[in-house]
Amino acid sequence: MLGAIVGDIVGSPYEYNNLKRKDFEFFSPNGFVTDDSVLTLAVCHALCQQSTNLQKAAEKSLMEIAWRYADKDYGEGFRRWMQQENPTPYNSFGNGAAMRVSPCSIAAKTLHETKAMSYAVTSVTHNHPEGLKGAEAAAVAGFLAKNGLTKKAIEQYINEHYYPMDFSLDNIRPQYQYEVSCQGTVPVALKAFFESVSFEDAIRNAVSIGGDSDTIAAITGGVAGIYYGIEDWIANRAEEYLDPYQRQLLKNFEKLFC
């Protein structure tokens, strides 16, 4: 799940200033922690509760931690959800569903449990079928990576069960535009992983596509970090962007599940 945070930070300066190339300063002075990292850490916190009702734990954790960082650039639907006394899901298929589920890949013991955890932490907000599908695809890719499948095997599984993978980054990069739906970003984010040769290369692939750079890179990083591991210099640098509370949430999750 640290991979998702790295991707978020590295991609953050380029969300509205797309690069369309891979040769950029990996940790820009203008990089920062966005809502993607905050909500990923909220899912970490929910999983750490070891609750028999993960859906309720996720709702509570997402609400409390989102309000703790109320200045973040949450989507309009999520912002309205935050303001409800008794929050209900809002039929969203936004990519916020997929950027926060990487902790489920790590915490789950089986593929079935991965899917159940993904549903529980996603459906409290993003209950549209495409939102649930995007989150599950990202979580499943991470789980399969954790269990030693090759990139080719993971891509085949995604192609058969979730999205067609019959495209390349080079082919779509010139015309790819800003897109916030799961169906418009999750396949692209996963392809950035499938075409990579290292964790850093995966994040560079993700940013180079353009579009919603921080979220695409967060989804890519969530899977790539599990598959490749994360070099110490990258992990240490990313943690410098986190405040003490965020670092504690990360530490608690790693202690319990890593």
DSSP letters, 187-207, are HHHHHHHHT-SSHHHHHHHHH
DSSP annotation of 94 reads B
Q: Look at the pTM and tell me if it is higher than 0.95.
A: yes
Residue 1 has a pLDDT of 84
pLDDT tens digit sequence for 226-256:
999 999 999 999 999 999 999 999 999 999 9
Interatomic CA distance for residues 191 and 53, integer angstroms: 33
Asked whether the beta carbons of 99 and 182 are under 8 A apart, the reply is: no
Torsion angle, alpha carbons of 219, 210, 170, 103, to 10:
0
pLDDT tens digit sequence for 9-67:
999 999 999 999 999 999 999 999 999 999 999 999 999 999 999 999 999 999 999 99
